[in-house]
Protein backbone atom coordinates (compact mmCIF):
# COMPACT_ATOMS: atom_id res chain seq x y z
CA UNK A 1 0.00 0.00 0.00
CA UNK A 2 1.24 3.43 -0.91
CA UNK A 3 2.18 5.85 1.87
CA UNK A 4 0.25 9.05 2.56
CA UNK A 5 2.46 11.48 0.71
CA UNK A 6 2.45 15.07 2.00
CA UNK A 7 5.76 15.94 0.33
CA UNK A 8 6.06 19.59 -0.74
CA UNK A 9 7.79 18.88 -4.03
CA UNK A 10 8.52 16.77 -5.92
CA UNK A 11 5.26 15.42 -4.71
CA UNK A 12 2.38 13.02 -5.07
CA UNK A 13 0.99 12.18 -8.51
CA UNK A 14 -2.18 10.21 -9.29
CA UNK A 15 -1.68 6.42 -9.27
CA UNK A 16 -3.11 6.04 -12.74
CA UNK A 17 -0.62 8.61 -14.05
CA UNK A 18 2.32 6.74 -12.50
CA UNK A 19 1.07 3.52 -14.02
CA UNK A 20 0.61 4.92 -17.52
CA UNK A 21 3.95 6.73 -17.30
CA UNK A 22 5.81 3.58 -16.34
CA UNK A 23 4.16 1.65 -19.16
CA UNK A 24 5.20 4.33 -21.65
CA UNK A 25 8.82 4.04 -20.52
CA UNK A 26 8.82 0.41 -21.64
CA UNK A 27 6.47 0.51 -24.60
CA UNK A 28 4.91 3.75 -25.79
CA UNK A 29 1.66 3.61 -27.80
CA UNK A 30 2.22 -0.13 -28.43
CA UNK A 31 4.89 0.80 -30.91
CA UNK A 32 7.55 -1.39 -29.25
CA UNK A 33 9.72 1.60 -28.37
CA UNK A 34 10.13 3.59 -25.18
CA UNK A 35 8.78 7.13 -24.90
CA UNK A 36 12.29 8.20 -23.85
CA UNK A 37 14.08 6.67 -26.80
CA UNK A 38 12.11 8.16 -29.70
CA UNK A 39 12.75 11.44 -31.45
CA UNK A 40 11.06 14.46 -29.93
CA UNK A 41 10.24 15.42 -33.52
CA UNK A 42 8.44 12.15 -34.23
CA UNK A 43 4.69 12.41 -34.59
CA UNK A 44 3.89 10.45 -31.40
CA UNK A 45 5.87 12.92 -29.28
CA UNK A 46 4.78 16.04 -31.16
CA UNK A 47 1.21 14.90 -30.40
CA UNK A 48 2.09 14.67 -26.70
CA UNK A 49 3.47 18.21 -26.69
CA UNK A 50 0.47 19.59 -28.60
CA UNK A 51 -1.93 17.80 -26.30
CA UNK A 52 -0.16 19.07 -23.16
CA UNK A 53 -0.30 22.63 -24.46
CA UNK A 54 -3.94 22.37 -25.50
CA UNK A 55 -5.02 20.81 -22.18
CA UNK A 56 -3.28 23.61 -20.29
CA UNK A 57 -5.29 26.28 -22.12
CA UNK A 58 -8.52 24.28 -21.91
CA UNK A 59 -8.28 23.65 -18.17
CA UNK A 60 -7.43 27.29 -17.47
CA UNK A 61 -10.24 28.54 -19.73
CA UNK A 62 -7.77 30.43 -21.90
CA UNK A 63 -8.53 29.07 -25.35
CA UNK A 64 -8.74 31.62 -28.17
CA UNK A 65 -7.72 34.50 -25.91
CA UNK A 66 -4.27 35.25 -27.30
CA UNK A 67 -2.36 32.91 -24.98
CA UNK A 68 0.39 30.47 -25.90
CA UNK A 69 1.85 27.67 -23.79
CA UNK A 70 5.47 26.58 -23.48
CA UNK A 71 7.04 23.63 -21.69
CA UNK A 72 10.57 24.75 -20.84
CA UNK A 73 13.45 23.52 -18.72
CA UNK A 74 15.42 25.13 -15.91
CA UNK A 75 12.63 25.09 -13.34
CA UNK A 76 10.59 28.00 -12.04
CA UNK A 77 13.92 29.46 -10.92
CA UNK A 78 14.90 30.13 -14.54
CA UNK A 79 11.59 31.95 -14.99
CA UNK A 80 12.67 34.38 -12.25
CA UNK A 81 15.26 35.75 -14.67
CA UNK A 82 13.54 34.93 -17.95
CA UNK A 83 10.47 37.03 -17.11
CA UNK A 84 12.69 40.03 -16.35
CA UNK A 85 14.93 39.40 -19.34
CA UNK A 86 11.92 39.49 -21.69
CA UNK A 87 9.71 42.09 -20.01
CA UNK A 88 11.72 44.52 -17.91
CA UNK A 89 12.47 47.70 -19.85
CA UNK A 90 13.12 50.16 -17.03
CA UNK A 91 11.26 49.31 -13.84
CA UNK A 92 9.27 46.36 -12.46
CA UNK A 93 7.06 46.04 -9.38
CA UNK A 94 7.18 42.96 -7.13
CA UNK A 95 5.18 41.76 -4.14
CA UNK A 96 7.40 39.93 -1.66
CA UNK A 97 5.50 37.15 0.10
CA UNK A 98 8.23 34.59 0.73
CA UNK A 99 11.45 32.88 -0.21
CA UNK A 100 10.44 32.34 -3.84
CA UNK A 101 9.32 35.95 -4.39
CA UNK A 102 12.52 37.06 -2.73
CA UNK A 103 14.56 35.02 -5.19
CA UNK A 104 12.53 36.33 -8.14
CA UNK A 105 13.26 39.89 -6.97
CA UNK A 106 16.98 39.20 -6.68
CA UNK A 107 17.13 37.95 -10.28
CA UNK A 108 15.02 40.78 -11.71
CA UNK A 109 17.31 43.41 -10.12
CA UNK A 110 19.96 42.35 -12.64
CA UNK A 111 17.83 43.84 -15.43
CA UNK A 112 16.59 47.15 -14.12
CA UNK A 113 15.02 49.16 -11.37
CA UNK A 114 12.91 47.19 -8.98
CA UNK A 115 10.16 48.40 -6.70
CA UNK A 116 9.14 46.06 -3.91
CA UNK A 117 5.55 47.28 -3.39
CA UNK A 118 5.14 45.42 -0.09
CA UNK A 119 6.80 42.65 1.89
CA UNK A 120 5.81 40.37 4.76
CA UNK A 121 9.42 39.64 5.63
CA UNK A 122 8.96 41.57 8.92
CA UNK A 123 6.90 38.65 10.29
CA UNK A 124 8.74 35.81 8.57
CA UNK A 125 6.19 35.82 5.74
CA UNK A 126 3.28 34.65 7.89
CA UNK A 127 0.79 36.95 6.16
CA UNK A 128 -0.05 38.44 2.78
CA UNK A 129 0.33 42.25 2.59
CA UNK A 130 -2.93 43.79 1.34
CA UNK A 131 -2.45 47.55 1.27
CA UNK A 132 -0.01 48.56 -1.38
CA UNK A 133 0.19 50.62 -4.51
CA UNK A 134 1.47 49.39 -7.80
CA UNK A 135 3.26 52.12 -9.75
CA UNK A 136 1.51 52.79 -13.05
CA UNK A 137 4.79 53.27 -14.85
CA UNK A 138 6.10 49.79 -14.00
CA UNK A 139 6.65 47.45 -16.94
CA UNK A 140 4.86 44.65 -15.10
CA UNK A 141 3.78 43.46 -11.66
CA UNK A 142 5.02 40.11 -10.32
CA UNK A 143 3.52 38.06 -7.50
CA UNK A 144 3.62 34.50 -6.13
CA UNK A 145 0.15 33.00 -5.85
CA UNK A 146 1.00 30.38 -3.26
CA UNK A 147 3.92 30.46 -0.86
CA UNK A 148 4.92 26.83 -0.66
CA UNK A 149 7.35 27.22 2.22
CA UNK A 150 5.31 29.42 4.55
CA UNK A 151 1.81 28.18 3.71
CA UNK A 152 0.13 31.40 2.62
CA UNK A 153 -1.90 31.99 -0.53
CA UNK A 154 -3.12 35.07 -2.34
CA UNK A 155 -6.93 35.06 -2.39
CA UNK A 156 -7.29 37.90 -4.84
CA UNK A 157 -5.22 39.55 -7.53
CA UNK A 158 -5.09 43.16 -8.65
CA UNK A 159 -6.69 44.22 -11.92
CA UNK A 160 -4.04 46.23 -13.70
CA UNK A 161 -3.29 48.20 -16.83
CA UNK A 162 0.24 46.79 -16.83
CA UNK A 163 1.06 43.09 -17.39
CA UNK A 164 0.39 40.80 -14.44
CA UNK A 165 3.05 38.08 -14.02
CA UNK A 166 2.53 35.25 -11.55
CA UNK A 167 4.57 32.36 -10.19
CA UNK A 168 1.87 29.70 -9.69
CA UNK A 169 4.27 26.81 -9.14
CA UNK A 170 2.50 25.35 -6.14
CA UNK A 171 -1.18 26.01 -6.83
CA UNK A 172 -1.73 26.04 -10.58
CA UNK A 173 -4.73 23.88 -11.59
CA UNK A 174 -5.86 23.74 -7.94
CA UNK A 175 -8.50 26.49 -7.85
CA UNK A 176 -10.68 28.56 -10.16
CA UNK A 177 -9.37 32.01 -10.92
CA UNK A 178 -10.05 34.35 -13.78
CA UNK A 179 -6.82 33.33 -15.47
CA UNK A 180 -7.38 35.88 -18.21
CA UNK A 181 -6.38 38.66 -15.78
CA UNK A 182 -2.83 37.27 -15.95
CA UNK A 183 -0.46 38.02 -18.80
CA UNK A 184 2.22 35.53 -17.90
CA UNK A 185 1.89 32.52 -15.59
CA UNK A 186 4.69 30.07 -14.86
CA UNK A 187 4.90 26.94 -12.76
CA UNK A 188 7.48 24.25 -12.15
CA UNK A 189 5.76 20.92 -12.87
CA UNK A 190 6.85 19.13 -9.72
CA UNK A 191 4.34 20.72 -7.32
CA UNK A 192 1.01 19.92 -8.87
CA UNK A 193 1.47 18.61 -12.40
CA UNK A 194 4.29 16.16 -12.98
CA UNK A 195 7.88 15.24 -12.23
CA UNK A 196 10.67 17.80 -11.90
CA UNK A 197 12.21 18.77 -15.21
CA UNK A 198 9.70 20.93 -17.00
CA UNK A 199 8.11 24.29 -16.34
CA UNK A 200 4.87 25.39 -17.92
CA UNK A 201 4.72 29.00 -19.11
CA UNK A 202 1.46 30.56 -20.27
CA UNK A 203 2.00 33.85 -22.08
CA UNK A 204 -0.23 36.44 -23.60
CA UNK A 205 1.74 36.97 -26.77
CA UNK A 206 1.15 40.70 -27.10
CA UNK A 207 3.30 41.53 -24.05
CA UNK A 208 6.46 40.34 -25.80
CA UNK A 209 8.85 42.17 -28.09
CA UNK A 210 9.01 45.44 -26.14
CA UNK A 211 12.49 45.25 -24.66
CA UNK A 212 15.41 46.32 -26.81
CA UNK A 213 18.15 44.24 -25.20
CA UNK A 214 19.53 41.20 -26.99
CA UNK A 215 18.08 38.07 -25.42
CA UNK A 216 20.00 34.78 -25.68
CA UNK A 217 17.93 32.28 -27.67
CA UNK A 218 17.38 29.80 -24.85
CA UNK A 219 16.00 32.58 -22.64
CA UNK A 220 13.88 34.20 -25.32
CA UNK A 221 10.15 33.42 -25.14
CA UNK A 222 9.65 34.47 -28.76
CA UNK A 223 12.21 31.97 -29.98
CA UNK A 224 10.60 29.15 -28.00
CA UNK A 225 7.12 30.18 -29.19
CA UNK A 226 8.28 30.23 -32.79
CA UNK A 227 9.42 26.62 -32.38
CA UNK A 228 6.39 25.37 -30.42
CA UNK A 229 8.51 24.44 -27.34
CA UNK A 230 10.87 22.48 -29.61
CA UNK A 231 13.72 24.99 -30.03
CA UNK A 232 15.90 22.37 -28.39
CA UNK A 233 15.12 18.89 -27.10
CA UNK A 234 12.29 19.26 -24.59
CA UNK A 235 12.25 17.13 -21.44
CA UNK A 236 10.11 14.46 -23.02
CA UNK A 237 9.31 12.38 -19.95
CA UNK A 238 8.24 15.26 -17.65
CA UNK A 239 6.14 16.73 -20.46
CA UNK A 240 4.45 13.38 -21.06
CA UNK A 241 3.69 12.85 -17.36
CA UNK A 242 2.36 16.41 -17.10
CA UNK A 243 0.08 15.67 -20.04
CA UNK A 244 -1.19 12.55 -18.29
CA UNK A 245 -1.89 14.52 -15.11
CA UNK A 246 -3.78 17.17 -17.06
CA UNK A 247 -5.83 14.43 -18.77
CA UNK A 248 -6.56 12.92 -15.36
CA UNK A 249 -7.71 16.31 -14.10
CA UNK A 250 -9.91 16.90 -17.13
CA UNK A 251 -11.52 13.46 -16.75
CA UNK A 252 -12.26 14.19 -13.08
CA UNK A 253 -14.14 17.36 -13.98
CA UNK A 254 -11.40 19.97 -14.29
CA UNK A 255 -10.41 22.73 -11.91
CA UNK A 256 -13.92 23.45 -10.63
CA UNK A 257 -14.16 19.84 -9.44
CA UNK A 258 -10.69 19.58 -7.88
CA UNK A 259 -11.11 22.94 -6.18
CA UNK A 260 -13.99 21.56 -4.13
CA UNK A 261 -11.94 18.51 -3.15
CA UNK A 262 -9.02 20.75 -2.21
CA UNK A 263 -11.29 22.96 -0.09
CA UNK A 264 -12.61 19.89 1.73
CA UNK A 265 -9.13 18.58 2.48
CA UNK A 266 -7.89 21.96 3.70
CA UNK A 267 -11.02 22.51 5.83
CA UNK A 268 -10.59 19.10 7.47
CA UNK A 269 -6.96 19.75 8.44
CA UNK A 270 -7.30 23.41 9.48
CA UNK A 271 -10.33 22.53 11.58
CA UNK A 272 -8.22 20.01 13.48
CA UNK A 273 -5.28 22.42 13.84
CA UNK A 274 -7.66 24.98 15.37
CA UNK A 275 -9.59 22.51 17.52
CA UNK A 276 -6.73 20.42 18.87
CA UNK A 277 -5.23 22.11 21.97
CA UNK A 278 -1.78 20.66 21.17
CA UNK A 279 -1.34 22.45 17.83
CA UNK A 280 -1.09 25.96 16.42
CA UNK A 281 -1.40 27.18 12.87
CA UNK A 282 1.67 29.17 11.84
CA UNK A 283 0.21 31.80 9.49
CA UNK A 284 -2.55 34.39 9.51
CA UNK A 285 -5.88 32.53 9.23
CA UNK A 286 -7.29 34.51 6.33
CA UNK A 287 -4.13 33.97 4.30
CA UNK A 288 -3.91 30.20 4.78
CA UNK A 289 -3.00 28.12 1.77
CA UNK A 290 -5.22 25.27 0.64
CA UNK A 291 -2.15 23.56 -0.76
CA UNK A 292 0.46 23.80 2.03
CA UNK A 293 -0.73 23.91 5.64
CA UNK A 294 1.95 24.89 8.17
CA UNK A 295 1.48 24.17 11.87
CA UNK A 296 3.46 23.46 15.00
CA UNK A 297 3.24 21.75 18.35
CA UNK A 298 2.60 24.13 21.23
CA UNK A 299 4.68 21.93 23.54
CA UNK A 300 7.80 20.85 21.70
CA UNK A 301 8.53 18.08 24.19
CA UNK A 302 5.80 16.11 22.39
CA UNK A 303 7.75 16.19 19.14
CA UNK A 304 9.26 12.70 19.29
CA UNK A 305 5.92 11.17 20.22
CA UNK A 306 4.08 12.91 17.41
CA UNK A 307 6.80 12.14 14.86
CA UNK A 308 6.61 8.47 15.78
CA UNK A 309 2.82 8.46 15.50
CA UNK A 310 2.68 9.88 12.00
CA UNK A 311 5.53 7.74 10.77
CA UNK A 312 3.74 4.67 12.13
CA UNK A 313 0.63 5.82 10.26
CA UNK A 314 2.73 5.66 7.04
CA UNK A 315 2.70 9.41 6.53
CA UNK A 316 5.57 10.89 4.47
CA UNK A 317 6.96 14.38 4.04
CA UNK A 318 5.44 16.22 6.98
CA UNK A 319 8.50 18.09 8.30
CA UNK A 320 8.33 21.85 7.89
CA UNK A 321 10.83 23.74 5.76
CA UNK A 322 14.04 24.51 7.67
CA UNK A 323 13.31 28.25 7.55
CA UNK A 324 9.92 27.81 9.27
CA UNK A 325 10.20 24.67 11.42
CA UNK A 326 7.19 22.73 12.70
CA UNK A 327 5.16 20.79 10.19
CA UNK A 328 3.94 21.31 6.66
CA UNK A 329 1.23 19.20 5.08
CA UNK A 330 1.20 19.66 1.32
CA UNK A 331 -2.20 18.71 -0.05
CA UNK A 332 -1.77 18.92 -3.81
CA UNK A 333 -4.44 17.80 -6.29
CA UNK A 334 -3.50 14.12 -6.26
CA UNK A 335 -3.53 13.74 -2.46
CA UNK A 336 -6.69 11.87 -1.45
CA UNK A 337 -9.01 13.07 1.31
CA UNK A 338 -8.35 9.86 3.26
CA UNK A 339 -4.68 10.81 3.58
CA UNK A 340 -5.68 14.06 5.29
CA UNK A 341 -8.01 12.02 7.52
CA UNK A 342 -5.07 9.76 8.41
CA UNK A 343 -3.08 12.82 9.52
CA UNK A 344 -6.01 14.21 11.51
CA UNK A 345 -6.36 10.79 13.20
CA UNK A 346 -2.71 10.89 14.38
CA UNK A 347 -3.19 14.40 15.73
CA UNK A 348 -6.19 13.17 17.71
CA UNK A 349 -4.32 10.12 18.88
CA UNK A 350 -1.56 12.35 20.21
CA UNK A 351 -4.17 14.37 22.10
CA UNK A 352 -5.61 11.24 23.70
CA UNK A 353 -2.18 9.95 24.74
CA UNK A 354 -0.56 13.21 25.79
Ligand X SMILES: *Cc1c(COP(=O)(O)O)cnc(C)c1O
Interface residues with ligand X (CB under 6 A)?
A: 9, 75-77, 100, 144, 148, 167, 169-170, 188, 191
In 3D space, the residue among 186, 189, 120, 202 whose CA is nearest the CA of residue 154 turns out to be 120
CB 167 to ligand X: min, Å? 5
Nearest distance in Å: CB 281, ligand X: 20
Active-site option among 68, 139, 167, 265: 167
Q: Is 26 helix (H, G, I), strand (E, B) or coil?
A: helix
DSSP-based three-state secondary structure for 71 = strand
Cβ closest to ligand X, residue 45 vs residue 100: 100
Please say which residue, 7 or 148, places its beta carbon nearer to ligand X.
148
Nearer to ligand X, 75 or 336 (CB): 75
CB 9 → ligand X: shortest distance, Å?
A: 5
Burial 245-266 (b: 16+ CB within 10 A, else e): bbbbbeeeebbeebbebbeebb
Q: Minimum distance between the CB of residue 147 and ligand X, rounded to whole angstroms?
A: 7
9 backbone φψ class: left, alpha, beta (φ>0; ψ -120 to 50)? left
Backbone angles phi, psi at 4, to 5 degrees: -80, 110
Q: Mark whether 100 is an active-site residue.
A: yes
Complex with ligand X: residue 170 or 339, whichever CB lies closer: 170
191 is catalytic: yes
Minimum CB–partner distance for residue 43 and ligand X (Å): 29
| Phi/psi at 70 (5° precision) | -125, 145
Active site residue 167: yes
Strands annotated E in the chain: 4-5, 67-72, 91-96, 113-119, 141-144, 146-147, 152-153, 164-167, 184-188, 199-204, 279-281, 292-297, 315-316, 327-330
Q: Whole-number minimum distance, CB 189 to ligand X, in Å?
A: 8
Is residue 100 within 8 A of residue 83, CB to CB? The reply is no
Catalytic hit among 68, 100, 265, 287: 100
329 contacts 273 by C-beta, under 8 angstroms = no
Residue with smaller CB distance to ligand X, 60 or 154? 154
What are φ and ψ of residue 327, in 5° steps? -125, 155
Which residue, 44 or 75, is less far from ligand X as judged by CB? Answer: 75
Residue, CB closest to ligand X:
75
d(CA 280, CA 294) in angstroms, rounded, equals 9
Strand partners, 77: none
Q: Show Cβ contacts of residue 169 under 8 Å, excluding neighbours closer than 6 positions.
A: 76, 100, 144, 146, 148, 186, 187, 188, 191
Choosing from 68, 139, 191, 310, the catalytic residue is: 191
Q: Show which residues are catalytic.
A: 100, 167, 191
Amino acid sequence: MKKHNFSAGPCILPEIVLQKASEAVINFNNDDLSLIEISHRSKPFVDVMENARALTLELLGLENKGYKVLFLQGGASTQFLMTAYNLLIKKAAYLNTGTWSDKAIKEARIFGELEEVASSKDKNFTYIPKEYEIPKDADYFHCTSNNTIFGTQLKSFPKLDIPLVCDMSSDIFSRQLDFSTFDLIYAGAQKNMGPAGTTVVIIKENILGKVSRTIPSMLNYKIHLGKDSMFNTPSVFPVYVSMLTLEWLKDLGGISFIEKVNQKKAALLYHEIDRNPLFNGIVNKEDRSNMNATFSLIDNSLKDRFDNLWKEARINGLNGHRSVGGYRASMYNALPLYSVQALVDTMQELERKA
